[in-house]
Amino acid sequence: MKAIISVYVVPLLIVLMVSSCAQSIHRQSDLELLRSVENAFVNIAARSKPAIVGIIASDFQQAEHPNRLEGSGFIFRKEGYILTNNHVVHGARRIMVRLLDGSRLEAEVVGTDMNTDIALLKIEGKKAFPVLPLADSAKVRVGQFVIAIGNPFQLDYTVTTGIVSGKGRSILREWGIIRYQDFIQTDAWINTGSSGGPLLNIYGEVIGINALIRKVENTPAPAMAGAGFAIPINLVKTIGAQLIANGRVIRGYLGISMGEVPQGIRVRAVVLDTPAHRSELQRNDIIIEYNGKKVKKTVELQMLVAESQVGKQSVIKVLRRGHERIINVTIGEMPPELMGHAVEIESVAWKTLGLAVRKLKQSDFERYTYLTDEDQGVLVEKVKEKAPGFNAKIPRGALIVAINGQKVTNVQAFDAFLQAKQDAREFILDIKSSHGTEQVTVKLKN
């Protein structure tokens, strides 16, 4: 009997010992895995912090108690270029940047873009600044780990982790806050003061700029539970490069209102005196392709038009009453009021001709295909409806080369000529536009 018991007990003890060892090994393996993940997050935060900054923007409207707004940003070029959100620095008279070592430097606004909520700042230093590498946001995958670093509630260098919850998000459209929306959604905690900070992948590369959080309805303050949204870094790269080169962003413009339908994008309305109006595009056309690329979402078409070269012809394929048609449209420049830029309405040119003009910039030669390096004159930025310039059909983006045979060299000279000829009944303008070179007679109202 004892022998029989031994036969069964010994194997059982062996099984229990093996099972106990296996559980111990599994526990050890699980801990090592967690420790590895934990160390990865810790190391990324430590490496990234030197390039992340706190931003203090003040408007000094009240001398005793100036309005202050605090946000975040990060250095992406060693010369001291900083990326943040436009809403962090909008309207600020003075901007201070706080570095990891506690030092503060005054920052200059290089340029801003209201339509994407991006701002570019510059600080000066005696040596190269630490920077964050930029990823390719087109390769971002839903479900991947992310790390957000910022300064919420003046709590410097707060680190939160989460995953990418979604891509290509478009929200707040009814408010008209940000025109070009292609957000990365994340559950990494973002809150007041985190705006402008980086959203990082597991390699410590920036995949987006943290922009906002959408609060759950009826959530009691100060709780801000909801989804966080970041601007994809590929879009930021494009905007940042233009701001560094030109101090502003030039966008293509079509001039339609639109909505999504199963087949593509329906044209709800065509705005008067726009590239769309001057083409054969019609209300209720359904746009299915833009320059050979199929489009299903309005944000896709907006991005494609915005990135198109001003003055260049784009090919749009539409469905009209069930039949496909090809329409060629010469893309214009987005009006300054849609770009968030003020237009000079006190100038003589505006009051006399209904034209807002500005000097030529280097970026204009790159964006307007009809300009050459030898061209001189002033560029028409806006045309007032029903004014003499509007009635003469002078297009936005046209270059005014001469007036009454006299060459136009700058805005001041143009205004001075108009001022000296206040009794004139008409002016003859030599202009250059996507329609070619022509003389236009502008008749003034008596």
Q: Which residues are catalytic?
A: 87, 117, 195
DSSP 366-386: HH-TT--TT--SEEEEEE-TT
User: Measured between alpha carbons, how far is 127 from 385 in angstroms, rounded to an integer?
Assistant: 52
User: Measured between alpha carbons, how far is 55 from 128 in angstroms, rounded to an integer?
Assistant: 19
Per-residue 3-state assignment (H helix, E strand, C coil) for 137-205: HHHCCCCCEEEEEECHHHCCCEEEEEEEEEEEECCCHHHCCCCCCCEEEECCCCCCCCCCCEEECCCCC
Is residue 273 classed exposed, middle or buried when 0-12, 13-18 and 19+ CB atoms within 10 A define those classes? middle
- Asked whether 210 and 150 are in contact (CB, 8 A), the reply is yes
- Torsions phi, psi of 92, nearest 5? -75, 140
Quick one: residue 218, left, alpha or beta (phi over 0 = left, psi -120 to 50 = alpha)?
left
What would the two tokens of residue 143 be? Answer: 């479900």
Going 81 to 84 to 85 to 90, the CA torsion angle's sign is negative
